[in-house]
Structure 1
């Protein structure tokens, strides 16, 4: 007879990492993300393959910053498959380039936005991008499907299914705490930086899965609030 953890990868992951946020066995870098070195050279062909997908929904800001945070999270959690985390992070939001752009803000960032149909659509289309660009770059089918398993559900599935999934999800949230992320994302939600940073504290930090991400987020939030004078500019 199957147990819950036999059939539910989310439950299996939760059982494997019962302490939340998950403690970090490696170094946790909380310095400004702009100090992170450039991306690995072996990812440059992948970046080149998805340039058109970076032109939608601020992906040319969101994806590089998220990838920098993903790199730091992999340093903090060396047991994770680093290549899987980085490739999934680079590709996770490329599907936004293939949805109705007029609906990205009106449906994807309003109301109960996590359940919006366009959210499910961008995940599915992001998997299509991964399956289109990765084979010609030499990635094996099993790896590509592992990437797609992370992309498919990164916004809409309530729980992570693996450590790699968790690190990608945390990286996807951490970029918002940098002042560049605040400047871009606050507009998506029609909020000023002060209100948006309040939301980051009350809604997004509790969603973070790893302790390293919590440390990075809280440190970055303090820096961004001080820089943007959110105590005054309300």
Structure 2
């Protein structure tokens, strides 16, 4: 990251910046998750699934820190692998599969089943224990189509996956997918997301993201620096 070339204050304040480890919510991928990401990434290079997955991972990290019943050793590999199955669906069909007012449930099920298969291969190749693999695969196989959550771990994966849609990145991506304005994207994504969340921390995050996005498109905000 480049350094600033000037300061309005006139002096350097960097000595007051705390270590990242002291700041709640500031994360990097855990070593055990980074190796999963490395193997998952080739399957995620379709329709922004790679960036979506990384943001969802960050949200999952925030949620597991607040929900002690969730197991990060299940949740985090599951979120990194949950959308790998879209790599088996033709790129021109993916948006039709997830479009509001339409959709292809058969393709949603295909990506879940194939994602479960890929997750099994990836985690087994890394030597993860059979019970962890089973729990991760059970979550992935149904993470979109299954309306009820199987466990606290499943709740977090579902919530992190959906929450991404109301982040600034998610709203911008949905604009591009369907030719929407940011306000239209905010409205269609935020309502759908908030109706589908399982945990109270995720609901609070969703309302916070929606509030920030609302100000971004407010007329009072336009023209301000």
Residues 193 and 230 of structure 1 are in contact (CA less than 8 Å); yes or no, is this contact kept in structure 2?
no
Range moving further from structure 2, 197-206 or 76-85: 197-206
Alignment partner of 1:71 is 2:58:
no
Alignment partner of 1:203 is 2:192:
yes
Which of the residues 56, 59, 70 maps onto 2:46? 56
Aligned match of 1:145: 134
Residues 176 and 182 of structure 1 are in contact (CA less than 8 Å); yes or no, is this contact kept in structure 2?
yes
Separation in structure 1 between the aligned mates of residue 221 and residue 96 of structure 2, nearest angstrom: 30
Which of the residues 20, 23, 28 maps onto 1:38? 28
Residues 173 and 204 of structure 1 are in contact (CA less than 8 Å); yes or no, is this contact kept in structure 2?
yes
Unaligned runs of 5+ in 2: 1-24
Structure 1 residue 232: Cα displacement: 8.5
Residues 159 and 198 of structure 2 are in contact (CA less than 8 Å); yes or no, is this contact kept in structure 1?
yes
Aligned match of 1:5: none
Residues 215 and 221 of structure 2 are in contact (CA less than 8 Å); yes or no, is this contact kept in structure 1?
no
Q: TM-score under structure 1 normalisation?
A: 0.79
Aligned match of 1:22: none
Residues 166 and 210 of structure 2 are in contact (CA less than 8 Å); yes or no, is this contact kept in structure 1?
yes
| Equivalent position SS for 1:78 | coil
Task: Identify the structure with bigger relative contact order (alpha carbons < 8 Å, sequence gap 6+).
Answer: 1
Alignment partner of 1:222 is 2:222:
no
Map 1:120-139; keep pairs closer than 5 Å.
Answer: 120-139=109-128
Map 1:71-220; keep pairs closer than 5 Å.
Answer: 71-113=61-103, 116-220=105-209
Q: CA RMSD in A?
A: 1.9
Residues 120 and 133 of structure 2 are in contact (CA less than 8 Å); yes or no, is this contact kept in structure 1?
yes
Structure 1 residue 51: Cα displacement: 2.1
Residues 194 and 203 of structure 2 are in contact (CA less than 8 Å); yes or no, is this contact kept in structure 1?
yes
1:53-106 CA-to-partner distances (Å, cap 9, x unmatched) read 121120121000000000011011012111101111111011111211121112
1:99-132 CA-to-partner distances (Å, cap 9, x unmatched) read 111211123325343x621100000110111011
| Equivalent position SS for 1:72 | helix
Residues 64 and 70 of structure 2 are in contact (CA less than 8 Å); yes or no, is this contact kept in structure 1?
yes
Summarize the Cα distance change of 1:48–1:225 in structure 2 as closer, same or farther, 3 Å threshold: same
Q: TM-score under structure 2 normalisation?
A: 0.82
Separation in structure 2 between the aligned mates of residue 169 and residue 159 of structure 1, nearest angstrom: 10
Separation in structure 1 between the aligned mates of residue 220 and residue 99 of structure 2, nearest angstrom: 25
Structure 1 residue 37: Cα displacement: 1.6
| Equivalent position SS for 1:56 | coil
The number of aligned residues is: 198
